[in-house]
Chains A and B, each alone.
Chain A
Amino acid sequence: MGQTISEKIISNHVGKKVYAGELVISKVDGAMASDTTGPLTIKAFKEMGGEKVFDPKKCALIIDHAAPSPNERIANLHKMMRDFAKEQGMRLFEIGEGICHQVMVENEYVKPGDIFIGADSHTPTYGALNAFACGVGSTDLAATMMTGKIWLKVPQTIQINCSGKLKEGVTAKDLILFLVGKVTVSGATYQAIEFTGEAFEGMSLASRMTIANMSSEMGAKTGIVHPKGLKLDYDFKAVIPDEDANYVKTFDFDVSGLEPQVSAPESPDNVHNISKYEGTKIDYAFIGTCCNGRLEDLDIAAEILRGKKIHPNVRMVIAPASQSVLLDAIGNGTMSTLIEAGASLITSGCGPCVGTHQGVPADGEVVISAANRNFRGRMGNPNSNIYLGAPSTVAASALEGHITNPKKYLL
Chain B
Amino acid sequence: MAVKTNIKAKAHVYGNHIDTDRIIPGKYTKTLDLSTLANHVLEDLDPEFNKIVAQGDILVAGINFGCGSSREQAPLALKQAGISVVIARDFARIFFRNAINIGLPVLEISDHQIQKGAKLDVDLKNGIVKDLTANISYEATKLPDIMIAILNEGGLVNYLKKNGNYSL
A residues sitting closer than 8 Å to B (CB atoms) are 23-25, 35-37, 39-40, 43-44, 47-49, 65-66, 73-74, 77, 119-121, 123, 135-140, 142-143, 146-147, 149, 151, 153, 185-186, 189-190, 219, 221, 267, 354-356, 373, 375-378, 380, 382
Contacts and interface: CB of A to CB of B under 8 A. Distances in A.
A37 B146 CA distance: 23
B94 A149 contact: no
Interface string B45-84: 0000000000000000001100111111100100000000
Nearest to A188: B93
A219 B64 contact: yes
B21 A376 contact: yes
Contacts of B31: 73, 77
A189 B160 contact: no
Interface in B83-130: 90, 92-94, 97-98, 101-102
26 contacts: A23-B145, A23-B146, A39-B30, A39-B32, A40-B32, A48-B160, A49-B161, A66-B30, A73-B30, A73-B31, A120-B69, A136-B98, A137-B70, A139-B98, A139-B157, A140-B97, A147-B165, A147-B166, A149-B165, A186-B64, A189-B90, A267-B17, A373-B21, A376-B44, A377-B44, A380-B25
Contacts of B146: 23, 151
Contacts of B145: 23
B25 A355 contact: yes
A391 to B, nearest CB: 22
Given A25-B166, A121-B70, A44 B156 contact: yes
Most B CB contacts (10 A, CB to CB) among A23, A140, A146, A267 go to A140
A36 B157 contact: no
A354 B30 CA distance: 11
Interface string B1-36: 000000000000000010101100111011110000
Interface string B141-168: 0001110000000011110110011111
B21 A25 contact: no
Contacts of A221: 93
Contact of A151 (B26, B90, B155, B168): B168
Contacts of A40: 32, 72-73, 76
Nearest to B72: A137
Contacts of A185: 17, 64, 67
Nearest to A49: B161
Contacts of A356: 26-27, 30
A40 B67 CA distance: 20
Contacts of A219: 64, 67, 92-93
Interface centre among A139, A146, A382 (most CB of B within 10 A): A139
A382 B164 CA distance: 43
A376 B26 CA distance: 11
B94 A136 contact: yes
B74 to A, nearest CB: 9
A121 B98 CA distance: 12
Contacts of A24: 168
A197 to B, nearest CB: 26
B62 to A, nearest CB: 10
B27 A380 contact: yes
Contacts of B98: 136-140
B167 A373 contact: no
B135 to A, nearest CB: 30
Nearest to B75: A137
A375 B22 contact: yes
Contacts of A25: 166-168
A375 B156 contact: no
Contacts of B161: 47-49
B94 A137 contact: yes
A267 B101 CA distance: 27
A49 B164 contact: yes
B162 to A, nearest CB: 9
A74 B30 contact: yes
Tell which of A221, A376, A377 has the most Cβ of chain B within 10 Å. A377
Nearest to B33: A73
A88 B161 CA distance: 20
Given A376-B21, A380-B27, A137 B97 contact: yes
B78 to A, nearest CB: 13
Nearest to A69: B30
Given A44-B156, A267-B17, A140 B93 contact: no
Nearest to A120: B70
A26 B31 CA distance: 31
Nearest to A218: B67
A379 B57 CA distance: 30
A153 B146 CA distance: 10
Contacts of B67: 185-186, 219
A378 B92 CA distance: 18
A119 B73 CA distance: 12
Contacts of B19: 375
B88 to A, nearest CB: 11
Contact of B70 (A39, A73, A135): A135
Nearest to B146: A151
B93 A151 contact: no
A25 to B, nearest CB: 5
A139 B156 contact: yes
B156 A378 contact: no
